[in-house]
């Protein structure tokens, strides 16, 4: 089964909502948990439990686990394994990217079946060159997994770089999308390559026409706390709206451990309204 087929099944069952598992220190405090490896482990497991049956996709933010060193990585391994055993699609928000054998190492870490850090998909940065991600993309295609590549992100610091234009006038973000689309076509790897497009952006400013994205799955952060509204998915992404995985995190997690499930249910209602 390809990653695209798995995503389609999950979306058909529970909708396109994704819960970001982001154990910020302030959220840990709000949940009554310590800011250590044990705290992020408990936070992550509680989030997985709240997601199960409500959403089909979770996205642990690796940085909040790895800041606690080896014990934090151990907590991340347990959280991701628990989520995958529960049937959730796990996107490791690791934003990895490098060249040659180093990229192969990242592929082995995050996408190899049986790896301690095995996820169903991983986020990656293309700014060492989209071609440098080939080991990650090939491993994803071979294992039925996915790589979501940053193209137009929702953080304001990225605007200058991502809207910069090549010599022929094509914006950098648009070039990333075009290269991923060509890679998918050349390798017949439907769904292995996806793209990250911030929901807070006006995609036209980045030279991106949602109708030209082809089969690329879209991971869309920026909903909730950052300002994008779930009930405007169709307006924001046009013809590509059915390909969108809408990620929410702090806007839901701030409801506390006891309120996450209800907050997710409210978010799902907004998506249905779209």
For the chain, the farthest-separated pair of C-alpha atoms sits apart, in whole angstroms, at 54
Q: Which residues contact 235 (CB under 8 A, 6 or more apart)?
A: none
Q: Which residues contact 163 (CB under 8 A, 6 or more apart)?
A: 171, 172, 173, 205, 206, 207
Query: How far apart, in whole angstroms, are the C-alpha atoms of residue 233 and residue 218?
Result: 12
- ∠ CA 181-100-126, nearest 5°, is 40
If we measure between CA atoms, which residue out of 173, 260, 251 comes closest to residue 218? 173
Query: How far apart, in whole angstroms, are the C-alpha atoms of residue 34 and residue 73?
Result: 16
| 59 among known catalytic residues | no
> Is residue 267 within 8 Å of residue 248, measured between CB atoms?
yes
Catalytic residue chosen out of the listed positions 52, 95, 229, 250: 95
Q: What is the H or E stretch that residue 236 is in?
A: helix 233-237
Q: What is the set of active-site residues?
A: 95
């Amino acid at each position: 089964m390809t990653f695209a087929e798995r995503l389609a099944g999950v979306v058909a069952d529970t909708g396109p909502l994704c819960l970001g598992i982001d154990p910020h220190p302030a959220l840990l405090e709000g949940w009554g948990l310590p800011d250590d490896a044990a705290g992020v482990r408990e936070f992550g497991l509680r989030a997985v439990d709240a997601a199960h049956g409500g959403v089909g996709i979770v996205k642990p933010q690796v940085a909040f686990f790895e800041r606690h060193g080896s014990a934090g990585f151990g907590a991340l391994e347990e959280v991701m394994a628990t989520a995958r055993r529960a049937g959730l699609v796990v996107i490791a928000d690791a934003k990895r990217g490098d060249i040659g054998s180093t990229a192969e190492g990242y592929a082995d870490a995050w996408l190899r079946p049986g790896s301690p850090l095995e996820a169903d998909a991983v986020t990656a940065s293309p700014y060492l060159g989209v071609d440098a991600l080939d080991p990650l993309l090939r491993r994803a295609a071979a294992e039925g997994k996915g790589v979501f590549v940053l193209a137009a992100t929702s953080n304001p610091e990225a605007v200058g770089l991502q809207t910069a234009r090549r010599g022929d006038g094509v914006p950098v973000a648009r070039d990333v999308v075009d290269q991923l689309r060509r890679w998918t076509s050349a390798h017949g790897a439907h769904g292995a390559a996806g793209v990250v497009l911030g929901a807070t952006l006006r995609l036209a400013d980045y030279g991106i026409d949602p109708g030209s994205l082809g089969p690329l799955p879209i991971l869309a952060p920026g909903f909730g706390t950052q300002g994008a509204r779930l009930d405007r998915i169709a307006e924001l992404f046009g013809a590509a709206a059915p390909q969108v995985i809408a990620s929410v995190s702090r806007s839901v997690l701030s409801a506390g451990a006891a309120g996450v499930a209800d907050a997710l249910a409210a978010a799902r209602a907004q998506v249905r309204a779209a």
